[in-house]
Amino acid sequence: RKSARQASAKLKFCRLAFGASGSAGASIDTGDAETVARDFIEDERTRLIWNGARQFMPKNRVKLLLNLLLVAQGSVPRGGTIDLTILGEGDSATFRIAANGPIAKVPQKVMNFVSGNPVDEDGKPIAVDAHGIQPFYAGLLARSCGLTVDAATNPDGVLITAR
């Protein structure tokens, strides 16, 4: 029963985060996004705090939000708290995600993919592989929404912003 619930949660999350989610110009209810994100992310080690008024938002912004939650989840491999704040509404909404937990860190390679600049420390291009495609896709979504994504690791954890 637990495995079936987990599989269903993953499928619903992936449909919303990666699927077409309606026609061009469609909007998605952030309440629905919150529900699928909670079902997918929360477990005995990880807690999601969702701050933001329920609203309809352009589908690519919601898809970006969910993809950034995946980056945040990956930054706390041993679990912790992911605190999401949605600022603004609709086309002007921005996101702030604080991920706190033991050994919280966003690898530089992930941020290079999100920024659309996949290069290594020597400036050589990094091929987008199976591990890099999701952050690369998040970067494509951010640019399609006219947003820039930044991430910083600090002593308290990781802070990811999309403005």
Cβ–Cβ < 8 Å for 97, 160? yes
Which pLDDT value is given to residue 2?
87
pTM of model > 0.85: yes
DSSP 8-state class, residue 127: P
Q: What is the pLDDT of residues 88-102, one digit of tens each?
A: 999 999 999 999 999
Dig out the tokens for 129 from the structure: 């592989």
- pLDDT under 70 in the chain at which residues? 20-24
Which pLDDT value is given to residue 87?
97
